[in-house]
Structure formats: structure tokens, C-alpha cells
Structure 1
Amino acid sequence: MVSFWQAFKNYWRRGFDFKGRSTRAEFWWMVLWAIIGLVILLGGLAGSMYMLVHHAGTNQFERLIYNNIIGFFVLTLVIGIILIIPSTALTVRRLRDTGLDTWVIWVIVILNFILGRNDMLWNNWWEILISILTLLVSLMMFIGLIMESNSLNFHGKNLKQPAVKVEILYPTQMKAKVLQPKQKD
């Protein structure tokens, strides 16, 4: 199993690797890292706002709040841009580990990215339809991220261990045959 620190190292070492696999532990350790980073970032913002409220005059207060908000916005934006590619790579590797085909993974990731950015108010029927589609795509992605490794391999492809066929001849006798997956050319 991947440790907390090993997941962090793998995240940066394999930041542009879209072809491999990542385990559930590796993915969710990085989610924990992201939550810790967000708490630190928001804690810094809250702490600086507290200091501004209690240690600044009204003219300085407005100027300092503006500078801090802009600074934290820029910092958040830069961190978000830096993390887009490694996070997408980790998500693709995690979904591949569950047994999804590559084209299905990319359809889910791209739809989630495009549809997840809507700011609709539900005034029209098509806005409601897009919101429902967004929810379904996000739900499919979440289910894929929490599934066990190779849980979607129905035909024995990409399995770490070969499939076993068991035949029951009589109630007291069983015969097992190891089936090797077919190799693709």
C-alpha cells in the first residue's frame, strides 16, 4: 500500500504520466494533501483578515484588504494552474486502474471539466438538463474513483492474476483450470 509521503512523491514524479495506473490509496492520499493545502491557504487568508481588522485604520484597512485579497487570489490561481495537469493525470491513472477503457476515461474527464463549469440559474429546461447531466457525469467519475482495482475488467484483461475456471463434476470432486488472458497484438 502507498504511504502518505509516497503518494505525494508519486504525484509529482508521475505528474505527466497518463498511461500508468494509480491505486485507490495513492489517489485518496493526494485528496487529503489537497484538503490540507486548502485549509492552510484559507487559514492564511482568515489570519490576515483578522490581523487587518484589529490592527489597521479605516484607510489602511481598505488598502490592505484589497492587497491581501488580490494576493491570495493570485496565489490560488497560480497553484490551481500548476496542479491541473498532475491532477488530471492522477485521475486518469486511477480510472484506468479500475479497468475502464482509455476512451471512456477521457470522455468522462472532458465532460466533467466542461460541464462542471456551468453557472446556470435553472431558468430554462435546457439549463436543468445540463445540470442533471453534470451531476450524472460527476457521479460516474466519483464512483470510478472509489472502486477497487480491476473491478471493471469483465473479461480477464489486464488482471494481475489469471482467471480461474472451476467445474464441479460431482459433489465431492472439483476441477480447476487456469485461463490465461489473450494477448493483443
Structure 2
Amino acid sequence: MISMAQAFKNFWRNYLNFTGTATRAEYWWMTLYLIIFFIFWIPATTMIIIASPAHSNINFTSFWQIFTHSSLLTMIWIFLTVAVFVALAIPSLSLNVRRYRDTGLNEILVWLIFILTIIFHFYSPNDNAYVRVLPTIVTVITFILTILPTKFLSKVKILGRTH
């Protein structure tokens, strides 16, 4: 079994590796690390924005208003938050793809799920109840894929890869 420290090293070592595999332990150790990290980062960001002197004077309706009407410290923190998000987003997506591949999922389906995940992270349907079900279905499928054992789907027709 892989340790949390080794999972962290692999996460950064495989920053742009969308072709390898990632075990369940590697995936879930890194997920736990990211959850713990964001449990502290998000409240810190919220407190810094609320503590900003401009916060009480303006009714913020957009990210741009928060950014342009804040103190220098707040703007630096927001910039750092965006940089951290971008720095973590790419290897997180890479880790997901490697985890899907580890389950033995067919390469076409790996990339289809990857693309759907990206689309539904940036597209939030709110007008049609039937359309809102699709992101939920993709989320459930991706969760199931992350808990499957290594090569679990490799012998399943249509879903798995046979090599």
C-alpha cells in the first residue's frame, strides 16, 4: 500500500501524466490531503475577503468587484488562491484520468468521462431539471470508478480494455 507521503510525491511527479495509472490508495490519499488543505484554505480566504476594508462599503456581485475594490493584501491573497487552484487543477485531473485507467476502463471511455467532467465543472445548468441530472450521473460514475479495484473493468465487454 502506498503512503500519504508517496501519494503526494506521485501527485506532483505526474503533474502532466495522463497516460499512466494511479492506485486507489494513491488517489484517495491525495483526495484526503486536498480536502484537509481546502478545509483550511477556504475559510482563510473568506476571512481575508470579509476583513478587507472595502468589503463593508460595496455590495459585491462579482469576483472582479471583490478583486478591484480590495486592499493590496486581499488582492495578493486572491491572486495566490487562483494560482493555487490552477496549480492543483491540472495534476488533479491527471490523477483522475490515471485512476480511471487503473480500473481497466476502455481508453475512449476514460477520455469521454474526463471531457464530461470538465464540461460539468464549468457548465452549471439551472433551467432544466432533466439537464441537471446529467452532471449528477457523471459524478456518480466517476465516484464509482475511483473506488473500483485495479483492472476491475479490464475484461468487461465494451467498458474494459483487453490488453
Q: TM-score range by the shorter chain?
A: 0.7 to 0.9
**Partner deviation per Cα, 1:68-93 (whole Å, 9 max, x = no partner):** 55333322211111222211111111
**Partner deviation per Cα, 1:26-47 (whole Å, 9 max, x = no partner):** 0011111111221221243355
Question: 1:14: how far off?
Answer: 1.4
Identify, as 1 or 2, the structure richer in helix.
Answer: 2
1:66 matched residue in structure 2: 70
Identify, as 1 or 2, the structure richer in strand.
Answer: 1
SS in structure 2 of the partner of residue 35 of structure 1: helix
Question: 1:7: how far off?
Answer: 0.4
1:141 matched residue in structure 2: 142
1:168 matched residue in structure 2: none
Cα contact 1:115–1:130 (8 A) shared by 2: no
Gaps of 5+ in 2: 57-68, 157-161
- Does 2:137 correspond to 1:132? no
Q: After TM superposition, list the pairs within 5 Å mapping 1:4-83 onto structure 2.
A: 4-45=4-45, 48=48, 52=51, 61-62=53-54, 66-67=70-71, 69-83=74-88
Could you tell me how far apart the structure 2 residues matched to 1:20 and 1:131 are? 32
- Relative distance call for 1:31 and 1:70 in structure 2 (3 A) is same
Could you tell me how far apart the structure 2 residues matched to 1:46 and 1:76 are? 11
RMSD: 2.6
1:93 matched residue in structure 2: 98
SS in structure 2 of the partner of residue 132 of structure 1: helix
Using structure 1 for the length normalisation, give the TM-score: 0.68
Gaps of 5+ in 1: 53-59, 156-181
Q: Give the letter for the 1:42 counterpart.
A: I
Aligned residues between the structures = 145
Identity %: 32
Q: Which has the higher contact order (CA 8 A, sep 6+)?
A: 2
Using structure 2 for the length normalisation, give the TM-score: 0.76
Could you tell me how far apart the structure 2 residues matched to 1:63 and 1:139 are? 38
